[in-house]
Amino acid sequence: MAKKTEIEIKKNKQEKYGADEITVLEGLEPVRKRPGMYIGSTGVEGLQHLIWEIFDNSRDEAMGGFADHIEIALLPNNKVRIVDNGRGIPVDIHKKTKVSALETIMTTLHAGGKFEGKGYKVSGGLHGVGASVVNALSVRTKVEVHRDKKIFMQEYVRGKKRALVKQVGKTTFNGTIITFEPDPEIFKEIEYNWKSITNHMRQQAYLVKKLRIHIIDAREYINDIAYEKEVYIENLSLCAPNTTFYFEGGLRSLVEFYNSDFKQVHKNIFYIEKESNEVLVELALQYIDDISSRELAFANNTFNAEGGMHVTGFRTALTRRLNDYARKNNIIKEKDENFTADDVREGITVVISVKMREIQFEGQTKGKLGSVEARGAVEKIFGEAFAEFLEEHPDEARAILNKVSLALRARKAAKAAKDSVLRKGALEGLTLPGKLADCSSRSAEESELFIVEGDSAGGSSKQGRDRRTQAILPLKGKILNVERARLDRMLGSKEIRALVIALGTAIGDTFNIEKLRYHKVIIATDADVDGAHIATLLLTLFYRYFKPLIDGGYIYLAMPPLYKIKKGKESTYVYTEEEKIKYLGADAGDMIEEEPEDKDGEEGEQETKEEVGTKKTPKISLQRYKGLGEMNPEELWETTMDPKNRLLKQITIEDAQEADHTFDVLMGTDVPSRKAFIQTNAKLAKLDL
């Protein structure tokens, strides 16, 4: 007889998991009326939140020791299928609802095996809300349960069952298969982001040791016939792009992954996994040679983008333990001097994970942990273990304290520089930079700041602007790369200092978004390599020192036209090569030659003629704009500054960790990593030859 696996043994020993473990609170109707309350939005993030909700239920099976394999497959026609080899959702009749437990879970809000601690010891989902919310927001949902050697199935349309649960066959597999198709009435645009999904699942695989997560992108590789035959687990991956994540090192492996492109301050990664008062704390940290900090927090494997109580407990313990060690070893000598929380966090990469039975999040999307018990548990467990780590690893401790001491000295120097530059008068606009052509309006809501490249573009934009609402700040050359620059050096740059004063928010610990003088900050650079570099430097500055402006939706990129096309007496502006070809037609596009640049600043004209029978095509001339300075004020206003006609791209951050890592690689000092990034992504670049 074959030896039973650990999963099979746990399943045999599992406590009773049936309809009695499902608790019901209320109905389902509110979900379709106010979907944003349950998934955050009906955009791309909300769409993918449906995947997270179903995945979380399968992952909870793995966290309980009942599953070790989850598959996520993107299928044709916007379908998503998620498979786990867990216990299978119960299908027996629920005492209160008088229908099957499966139907209760899928059609009733706040029904699941996560209330009262009966079905799960630890759960990442919010009390079973996930499955019913996904069902309510899907045009069709199909659940197939493999349990007790039988296959049970039920289908739903917009959250309502089509028929009772029925047995449809026999099986040797054990687990649950859920397939759903998001409702286009709710989600106007249904387009999954493969990169975002893989990043999320990689993260989850680090958080659950020995869980294998298999992701398949079969949207263009199989048809509905294969789907109807229920090809899943290993079979589907034979015909579609797929990837698998599996890690045994837990959070230690995750810290290694995030720090792989950086110089480590100390080689040994601190790691602790321990339980206190029914709160399991797992934490790993390492310092790197950088001035930014990376803190990732999870509660029951759910990422908490806004942190919460566990992060507060960690920061308190970290600051206290490093100050205690520094004083004990005579590193801090002055009576009134201590490391601050910012000092000890500079250059740190830390992943904090807590698991607990009773958990409270702030908001359905679980962005912030509110459970007070988590703070005490993290503070106690981490504080004691980190103190031991420092004592037992003196070389590591010395390297960390040297790093923190450098941060303290830099903080003092930065404060002195900031105080000398950002005086009260400057913040109130009394000493605005001379190069700033400010607008007359004092309403930040209607005011716009155009950051333009060079004096030539600055002159044209100043003449072409709406003086009442549009301010112009020309920058001379490329600004300082702030990725590795501390605040004191950064404020020594005239260009950056002028921008900081113009914004009005101050910087660092005195930053105040309420004092922002413009609610649209628009980066307008030339459509060439230098322009792209300047835009990247500015975005690095905003991301590192003014991130709330990006989060608030205040930062934009101007999209000036690439071409002005004259067709007879008509003039049209186009913004991409594709638009040019579409406007002219593929054949005409091949024949056009660009206008030669006219040294006197007047438009030249290159005519292209084609004989069609006895008729001539209209005269066509094409002018390529290589810089904003080549446009006269009227053209610049009409194409780039007039709110009625212009195109702006709002800067957003879909994945903060990915954005942080990308800025580190592209703008940092690690040349091999930057070279590897460019080589890997070179095929995605659009060349302007």
- Give catalytic residues, as residue numbers: 453, 526, 528, 530
Q: Give the integer Cα–Cα distance in Å for 105 and 155.
A: 13
Token pair 């199909």 is found at 142
The helix (H) or strand (E) run that includes residue 321 is helix 309-328
Residue 72: which of 190, 157, 197 has the closest Cα? Answer: 197
Q: Residues near 159 by Cβ (< 8 Å), separated by ≥ 6? A: 28, 31, 32, 107, 132, 135, 136, 137, 138, 141
Q: How far apart are CA 288 and CA 282, in angstroms?
A: 20
**Which residue bears the tokens 């030896």?**
3
Phi, psi of 574, deg, nearest 5: -125, 150
Measured between alpha carbons, how far is 662 from 537 in angstroms, rounded to an integer? Answer: 13
Q: How far apart are CA 177 and CA 79, in angstroms?
A: 13
Conformation bin of residue 312: beta by default, left when phi > 0, alpha when psi is -120 to 50 = alpha
Residues 500 and 521: beta-carbon distance below 8 Å:
no
Q: Crossing angle, helix 372-392 and helix 394-421, to 10 degrees?
A: 120
CA pair distance 83, 591, nearest whole angstrom: 54
Please list the residues that pair with 474 across neighbouring strands. Answer: 452
Phi and psi angles of residue 273, each rounded to the nearest 5 degrees, phi first? -140, 115
Dihedral angle computed from the Cα positions of residues 564, 566, 571 and 575, in that order, rounded to the nearest 10 degrees? -30
Query: What percent of the residues of the chain are helix, what percent strand, and what percent coil, each to the nearest 5?
Result: 40, 20, 40
Sequential DSSP letters for 322-368: HHHHHHHTTS--STT----HHHHHTTEEEEEEEEESS--BSSTT--S
- Strand pairing class (212-217; 150-157): unpaired
Strand duo 279-287 + 270-276: pairing: antiparallel
Query: How many beta carbons lie within 10 A of that of residue 58, not counting itself?
Result: 23
